[in-house]
Structure 1
Amino acid sequence: MTTATPLVGPRDIALAHYAARALLENVLTRHGITFQQSVTLRLAAVADGPVGREQLVDGVTGALKTDAPEVHGVLDELIAARLLARTGASEVRITDAGREVYAATSGETAPITARVYDGIPAKDLAVTGRVLRLITERADAELAALRR
């Protein structure tokens, strides 16, 4: 008798996402930032210098599937916390304090991520990556169709 490998479904993907997010949020909480703030801070951290506020809003809304007013609020929170700074009417940049928080949270999550992924064959991760990108692409297309 053979046992069939169960197919992965939306619940499996959601459970993996929320388990990983819970690990991340545990680290973020210790540094006084939220998940939404960390996503926003990361985009500012990897930019080559100041970034347009609207460009940052577009990046976060695309990543989190949230609305622009909410992301503008997150930007305002990060500016008030001095993790981001305005560089003009329509640009922001990450501050030294923001870089420190980003580096600390990235540094703390890296070993956790390494333990979670440890022992998973590279071929399996490659297939998983391709499948998840395809699912994301299709879900984004469905969401775009719903919003038309």
Structure 2
Amino acid sequence: MSTTPTLNGQVIGQAHYATRSLLERATGPLGLSFGQVVALNALAAGPVERAQLVHRITSTLKIDEPAVRELIDGLVDADLVQVDGSAPHLRLTDGGRATQTRVADAVAGITARLYRDIPAGEAEVAARVLTVVTQRANAELAGA
């Protein structure tokens, strides 16, 4: 007899880590950490001021600023990201764009395989629930 799992942090975490492991397996040959993938995706829309990118990644990944600065420096050293202007904006290089496209393609493939037969209505409900849970957790973290 199978039981329906209870929606809780453990179930959400297991889904996150299983999906993240697939992404890391796909991006590992590119020499990217998970945090660097997040940074490349954030820069895909265009240049971002360094402080804004640091804030975005610290708030998304819940890691400290020195760790984020180190992962950004790694992207700059790998010539995937470059610094523009006096108010330092970061942007993807041509190589960074190509790498980010490969990452996006990998994500699209993983998403297609994992979500392929989940009814759209159920996926929408899950997205709304997880968004609320994330907002509440972030509010608690901000209040701590």
Against the structure 1 CA distance between its residues 82 and 4, is the aligned structure 2 distance closer, same or farther, given a 3 Å change threshold?
closer
Match of 1:84 among 81, 86, 92: 81
1:72 maps to a residue whose letter is R
**Cα RMSD between the aligned structures?**
1.4
Unaligned runs of 5+ in 1: none
2:16 maps to what in 1?
Answer: 17
User: Matched residues in 2 for 1:6 and 1:62: separation?
Assistant: 29
SS at match of 2:82: strand
Shift of 1:144: 1.0
Shift of 1:6: 3.8
Of structures 1 and 2, the larger Rg is shown by 1
SS at match of 2:31: coil
User: Matched residues in 2 for 1:111 and 1:70: separation?
Assistant: 29
Q: Are 2:23 and 2:106, in contact at CA under 8 Å, matched by a contact in 1?
A: no
User: Matched residues in 2 for 1:130 and 1:120: separation?
Assistant: 15
1:53 maps to what in 2?
Answer: 50
User: Matched residues in 2 for 1:26 and 1:4: separation?
Assistant: 31
Unaligned runs of 5+ in 2: none
Structure 1 residue ranges (4+ consecutive) displaced by more than 4 angstroms after TM superposition = none
| TM-score computed with the length of structure 1 as normaliser | 0.90
Question: What are the equivalent positions in structure 2 for 1:1-148 lying under 5 Å apart?
Answer: 5-47=4-46, 50-89=47-86, 90-146=88-144
1:129 maps to a residue whose letter is A
Q: Are 2:42 and 2:53, in contact at CA under 8 Å, matched by a contact in 1?
A: yes
Shift of 1:94: 0.6
| TM-score computed with the length of structure 2 as normaliser | 0.93
1:73 maps to a residue whose letter is E
User: Matched residues in 2 for 1:108 and 1:67: separation?
Assistant: 27
Shift of 1:7: 2.2
Shift of 1:102: 0.5
Sequence identity of aligned pairs in percent? 42
Aligned length: 142
User: Matched residues in 2 for 1:133 and 1:94: separation?
Assistant: 29
SS at match of 1:132: helix
SS at match of 2:44: helix
Q: Are 2:58 and 2:64, in contact at CA under 8 Å, matched by a contact in 1?
A: yes
